[in-house]
């Protein structure tokens, strides 16, 4: 606790102890959140934040069954079968939801409760999980996925990756202006395989669509794309989530929000009298 929060330094000819500060603020740096011990009484507890909620502890993931109304009945009628909780998984507070999903699927698979479709909050899926969940567990993920996060995609009036035509066999990309990429480099970014595709500055510099495409000082556009299977799965998911059919189908997930509400407000799931993940998991179950 002392080493990760404080550091020794020499000031005025004497050694003193001072609080660690971020390197961006001129300090000695702080340990990553996932390894930083926040309490000497519970060494697995971590500080975490989600939107406006800031807490010290762990994170709870709940799964339950969901079913449609009986055939030939009013679509707004009660489900044919009651919803039953099938999985309660406790993880460290700093573990991203995308990394928690594999543990949830493994737990369900061990007990023979894997569903053919898993309706998820948008914080869980990514390109890798959409593909691997189907290949490894036979589970199709039904969920809205996040939109493209590049500057161009966020601007909405600029060309994002989905506006380019990808020729996977020739390892080339064609931009909206009809120019072809000049380099195709497979790389690893943050532990994920991707391909960096670059266009020539000679094509991008004089292009009349440049302002809608890139503001890079190098005067050329680059794309960072997933491998073909992941890229196409993500593109298909983003296209499908705009349809009314998927929106109606995804409404099946609404019940879990009520279950989470009951867990936090009726059973006190946001507070635990135990220390450590194992005991907390036992209490949540």
Q: pLDDT tens-digit profile of 149-178?
A: 566 655 567 888 888 999 999 999 999 999
Q: Tally the domains of the chain.
A: 2
Same-domain status, 167 and 278: no
Could you tell me if residue 255 is inside a domain?
A: yes
pLDDT in tens, the chain (285 residues): 667 777 777 777 788 887 877 777 777 777 777 888 888 888 888 888 888 888 898 999 999 998 877 776 766 666 778 888 999 999 999 998 989 999 999 999 999 999 999 999 888 888 889 999 999 999 999 888 876 656 665 556 788 888 899 999 999 999 999 999 999 999 998 888 899 999 999 999 999 998 888 888 888 899 999 999 999 998 888 888 888 888 888 888 888 888 888 888 888 888 888 888 888 887 887
Structural domain containing residue 160: 156-227
Could you tell me if residue 64 is inside a domain?
A: yes
Could you tell me if residue 208 is inside a domain?
A: yes
Could you tell me if residue 39 is inside a domain?
A: no
Same-domain status, 91 and 114: yes
In SS3 terms, the chain reads as: CHHHHEEEEEECCEEEEEECCCHHHCCCCCCCCCCCCCCCCCCCCEEEEECCEEEEEEEEEEEECCCCCCCCCCCCCCCCCCCCEEEEEEEECCCCHHHHHHHHHHHHHHCCCCCCEEECCCCCCCHHHHHHHHHHHCCEEECCCCCCCCHHHHHCCCCCHHHCEEECCCCEEECCCCCECCEEEEEEECCEEEEEEECCHHHHCCCCCHHHCCCCCCCCCEEEECCHHHHHHHHHHHHHCCCHHHHHHHHHHHHHHHHHHHHHHCCCCCCCCCCCHHHHHHHHC
pTM, to two decimals: 0.76
């Amino acid at each position: 606790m002392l080493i990760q929060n404080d550091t020794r330094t020499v000031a005025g000819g004497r050694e003193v102890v001072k609080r660690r500060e971020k390197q961006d603020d001129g300090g000695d740096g702080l340990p990553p959140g996932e390894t930083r011990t926040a309490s000497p009484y519970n060494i697995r507890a971590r500080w975490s934040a989600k939107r406006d909620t800031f807490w010290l502890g762990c994170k709870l993931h709940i799964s339950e069954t969901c079913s449609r109304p009986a055939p030939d009945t009013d679509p707004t009628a009660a489900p044919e079968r009651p919803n039953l909780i099938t999985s309660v998984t406790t993880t460290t507070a700093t573990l991203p939801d995308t990394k928690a999903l594999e543990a949830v699927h493994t737990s369900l698979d061990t007990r023979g409760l894997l569903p053919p479709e898993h309706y998820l909050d948008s914080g869980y899926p990514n390109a890798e999980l959409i593909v691997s969940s189907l290949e490894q567990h036979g589970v199709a993920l039904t969920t809205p996925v996040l939109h493209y996060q590049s500057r161009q995609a966020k601007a909405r009036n600029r060309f994002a990756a989905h506006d380019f035509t990808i020729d996977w066999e020739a390892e080339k990309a064609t931009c909206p202006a009809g120019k072809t990429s000049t380099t195709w480099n497979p790389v690893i970014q943050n532990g994920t395989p991707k391909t960096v595709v670059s266009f020539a500055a000679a094509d991008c510099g004089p292009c009349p669509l440049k302002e809608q495409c890139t503001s890079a000082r190098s005067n050329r556009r680059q794309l960072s794309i997933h491998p073909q299977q992941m890229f196409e799965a993500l593109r298909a998911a983003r296209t499908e989530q705009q349809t009314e059919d998927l929106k109606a189908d995804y409404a099946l997930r609404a019940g879990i929000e009520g279950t989470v509400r009951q867990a936090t407000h009726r059973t006190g799931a946001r507070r635990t009298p135990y220390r450590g993940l194992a005991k907390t998991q036992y209490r949540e179950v």
